[in-house]
Chain A
Amino acid sequence: MKTQRQLAHGLTIATLALFSFPAGGCLAYRANALGAAPIEEPMRVEGDTALVVREQVTIWSLAYGLVRKGRSRIECDGQGLQEVNLTSPPHYTLLTIITLGAVSPKRLRTKCAKAIPAGGVFAPPPSGAQ
């Protein structure tokens, strides 16, 4: 009896743990450009002209898509995107449920690809250049 109770207890905790993960880790969707060199760094500093950018914004779909709010054009200095992440944290999901989908925020995270330089020739630098 005791073993059965322990097993039931364990199963309950495991089930709760399993179902708490989508909430804790957010409902997450990710798309990667195949063959892009991965790069890791923290979020973009606004106004920075960085080579590699990771940016996170909240996008809103209002009135079932009639109105949309949030940045949809991403500046990557012509390098293209490496990765797009779409997540729905628990409070975003809750808001969507409460409003029956009329207000539906998502968190959009984008990462630009690394610049790919043209190949060079290993040759002595021009005189004057170091």
Chain B
Amino acid sequence: MPVDTVRDTGQRRWQNWHQTVDQSLERWLVVSNADPHQSTIPGYNATTRVLQDLMGQARDKDLSIRAHGGTWSFSPIAATEGILLNTQPLNYRFRMGAEQFHPANAGGAALIFAQCGMAIVELNRYLAPLGLALQTCGASNGQTIAGAISTGTHGAALRFGAMQDYVRALHLIVSPEESVWLEPASRPAVRDELAGFVNARLIRDDELFYAALVSFGSFGLIHGVLLEAAPMYYLQSWRETRALDDTLWRAIASLDFSALTLQGAAGRQPDHFQVLINPFDQSRQGIVTAMYRVPSRPPGSTPPKTGSEWTQGDSAFEAVGLITDLLPDASALLASLIDKLTRTTVANVCGEPGQMFRDTTTRGKTAGAAVGVPLDRTRDAIEVARTEIGRTRAPALLAIRLVRSTKATLGFTSFEPATAVIDIDCPQSNRQRDLLHGLWPALEQAGIPFRFHWGKLHEIDRDRLRRMYGDRVDRWLSARRTLLPTPELRRLFANAYTDRAGLSD
């Protein structure tokens, strides 16, 4: 049954998933495909026209227009005072036949064209019967593809990269009148005429493509994403408690894990590596998870469990935040409790990527922050974070995830050859706010280069952004001016966040 393609929610306030953003706005609209049951190119093109019409309405009223996906970002990066589009129902999916590949891509990997609102869980379910899988994803699977790549969402794929690194082309609506099919010139994906299928102008340009990859809605609306999928693989996982000693820090700095003699390694280097740290733990141990890619499920391995029957209630984080504000010593107790609960051994658990990284159970007022740091400064960054947590007594846990360097101009996982992403997770509270407010200057004072995760809590401004990215900021702005040549268009896709970061010009 055909449905209304644009529905006004009637709401004039918008909150994100974790309730860290509460934004008043002109209109919050839900956009759907006219036929939600069959992916067709004419249907896709009709939705492009709907989106362009909405852009035109925003331009006429001098409003900005932004899109949101899963709304998982903690930062106000998707917010706008103008028109906000919920693109989650836009979930068409298309296979590309080999005859459509660019000659330079002959014999290349499988290419899938996904509409912007397709969630990672949907992609996993679509790809698995085709014998395909995503190269990496975040820790769970509810983000939409456009939102995830636009904010640089990552897993711990130290030999692959972040999610934007398997994008081969973007279909980007840059104005009420025009859309572009954007590919890197150095790695064209499909034949020239395919851009015409979606009424787009073909642009092959490395500088523009890598700038637009992580651009959080500021280059226009990403309507479709061409993804390179991997042949189906399995992840074989082990989790163990280890000392946070010189051997571990050397392994992280060098990406050579042989000296760690990880359980299950059998001479292999991990494809996925992360460390969970309780900063209140005086024994200085961490929970190390290593995963290895294998082409099939090894005999004797165990399939992943669907999860514990015990999970936190939706009000749990708010309660913990309040209690730890009142009783600071409760922070150490709570962090230790969570640490003990997660300190279970995992041995030879193996599943498809979509089975290993699945539905999140986390709801309510949590706070997540993350920075990317160079590998050889991981230990220093953890020590600074540990000191700040000790100062504020915030009930935080730390995690380290290693991600191979991205080519995206403002990708925060862009340190070479890989980035250590330090996650700081805790319930929302005054102590958490005090912690994060103090942590960024403390990292700067320690001389540790770092880059904020775009989708997590941080305090960005023009100067700090320049210190983080140097001339990459100018390259990104230059690319944006090329694709959005008038100040009017650049205003259309800006918001208060990009103003503060100096990324609206």
Contacts and interface: CB of A to CB of B under 8 A. Distances in A.
A120 B111 CA distance: 13
A119 B94 contact: yes
A47 B236 CA distance: 49
A51 B34 CA distance: 10
Contact of B86 (A14, A41, A118): A41
B314 A117 contact: no
Contact of A115 (B30, B45, B89, B318): B89
B308 interface: no
A24 to B, nearest CB: 7
B37 A115 contact: yes
B88 interface: yes
B122 A39 contact: no
Interface stretch (B271-279, B321-329, B452-460): B321-329
Given A21-B319, A49-B4, A130-B42, A122 B94 contact: yes
A101 B340 CA distance: 40
Given A119-B93, A121-B95, A130-B45, A25 B315 contact: yes
B314 A114 contact: no
Interface stretch (A29-37, A63-71, A91-99): A29-37
B175 interface: no
Contacts, number: 151
A38 B119 contact: yes
B310 to A, nearest CB: 14
Mostly, the B contact residues are loop
A37 B318 contact: no
Given A41-B30, A49-B4, A117 B38 contact: yes
Interface residues of B, number: 62
- Bin the interface of chain A by size: 35 or more
A118 B39 contact: yes
B36 A115 contact: yes
B495 to A, nearest CB: 19
B494 interface: no
A14 B9 contact: no
Contacts of B33: 117
B104 interface: no
Given A119-B126, A125-B41, A51 B10 contact: no
A126 B42 contact: yes
Contacts of B306: 34
Interface string A43-79: 0010011111000000000000000000000000100
Kindly name the residue among A22, A40, A123 whose own CB sees the greatest number of chain B CB atoms within 10 A: A40
A18 interface: yes
B38 A35 contact: no
Kindly name the residue among A37, A77, A125 whose own CB sees the greatest number of chain B CB atoms within 10 A: A37
A115 to B, nearest CB: 4
A10 B33 CA distance: 54
Contacts of B359: 32, 34-35, 38
B42 A18 contact: no
B125 interface: yes
B96 interface: yes
A37 B42 contact: no
A10 B326 contact: yes
Contacts of B32: 51
B74 interface: no
26 contacts: A10-B326, A14-B323, A17-B319, A18-B319, A24-B315, A37-B142, A38-B121, A41-B86, A42-B9, A48-B7, A49-B1, A49-B4, A51-B30, A51-B89, A52-B30, A115-B37, A116-B91, A117-B92, A118-B37, A119-B93, A122-B197, A124-B193, A124-B197, A125-B42, A129-B42, A130-B199
Interface of A: 10-11, 13-14, 17-18, 21-22, 24-25, 28, 30, 32, 34-42, 45, 48-52, 77, 114-126, 129-130
Given A11-B327, A18-B319, A115-B91, 13 more contacts: A25-B315, A35-B125, A38-B121, A38-B359, A40-B88, A48-B7, A49-B1, A50-B3, A50-B30, A124-B41, A125-B40, A125-B41, A130-B49
